[in-house]
Amino acid sequence: MKILSTKDNLQILHEDNHIIIVNKRVGDIVQGDKTGDKPLSDVVKEYIKEKYNKPGEVFLGVVHRLDRPTTGIVVFAKTSKALTRLNEMFSKRETQKTYWAVVKNQPPKTEDILVHFLKRNPKNNTSKAHIKEVPESKKASLDYKIIKKLDNYYVLEINLHTGRHHQIRSQLSAIGCPIKGDLKYGFDRSNPDGGIHLHARKLVFIHPVSKETLEIIAPVPDNVVWKNI
């Protein structure tokens, strides 16, 4: 069963005066969209308003996003100064993002660097990975390694070198390793909670104000496959 985040069950990984970092659940939408569903940003605002008894509107900046069916680390800015610096940091790729993905098929190599050219299709909200550059495509690069073999699955650790739309999902699908539950990219059946087994596991970055190095690790979701890792 799917449990969405609320102000009372929010999984906070780090909080200080300038930033708040949350472990996103399956189904949480980071920022409002055409569905009209309540976004995680509003939930975090409610939490801050209640915790600090703040009158009026709470400032909260969305720094980056995760796809709705994925889980893991999401960073929000609590001040405009932090937001400006974080936006710059994320756009310049001055952060280290590590993901975990569960796939059914064994990748061609134990570890590898994948380079594709992704072309986005706005009609069905997917990105197709091409080996060679095609019109309107963007270069995408990541590295992966197998970190565990489960009974029926392989667990991959992935480091992103670029930040493209559905990058990990489309690149893994292109090598014949769609992520567990990801019907959109070729997995044969959905997960009961509608999510996919892609988790933003670790983030290392320089704090936008204190300048200290932060290393954030997000616990995996509470389900059988993740718990075996």
Domain encompassing residue 50: 12-228
Residue 202 lies in a domain: yes
Residue 5 lies in a domain: no
pLDDT digits (tens, 9 = 90+) for 79-127: 999 999 999 999 998 999 999 999 999 999 999 999 999 999 999 999 9
For 130, the token pair is: 């091409």
Residue 127 lies in a domain: yes
Residue 79 lies in a domain: yes
What is the number of other CB atoms lying within 10 angstroms of the CB of residue 188?
A: 9
How many separate domains does the chain show? 1
Residue 1 lies in a domain: no
Pairwise CA distance, residues 111 & 157, whole Å: 9
Residue 4 lies in a domain: no
* HSE-CB of 209 using CA atoms within 13 angstroms: 12
Q: Provide, rounded to the nearest whole percent, the portion of the chain with pLDDT above 90.
A: 92
Average pLDDT over residues 127-131: 97
pLDDT digits (tens, 9 = 90+) for 24-36: 999 999 988 777 8
- 21 phi and psi, to 5 degrees? -120, 130
Would you state the pLDDT for residue 36?
81
Enumerate residues 6+ apart whose C-beta is below 8 A from 8.
none
Strands (E), the chain: 12-15, 19-24, 61-62, 71-77, 96-103, 111-121, 126-130, 138-149, 154-160, 198-206, 213-217
Task: Say what the pTM is.
Answer: 0.95
Would you state the pLDDT for residue 229?
85
Residue 7 lies in a domain: no
Pairwise CA distance, residues 74 & 62, whole Å: 9
Average pLDDT, the chain: 95
Residue 57's CATH number: 3.30.2350.10
Would you state the pLDDT for residue 32?
80
pLDDT digits (tens, 9 = 90+) for 43-71: 999 999 999 999 999 999 999 999 999 99
Residue 6 lies in a domain: no
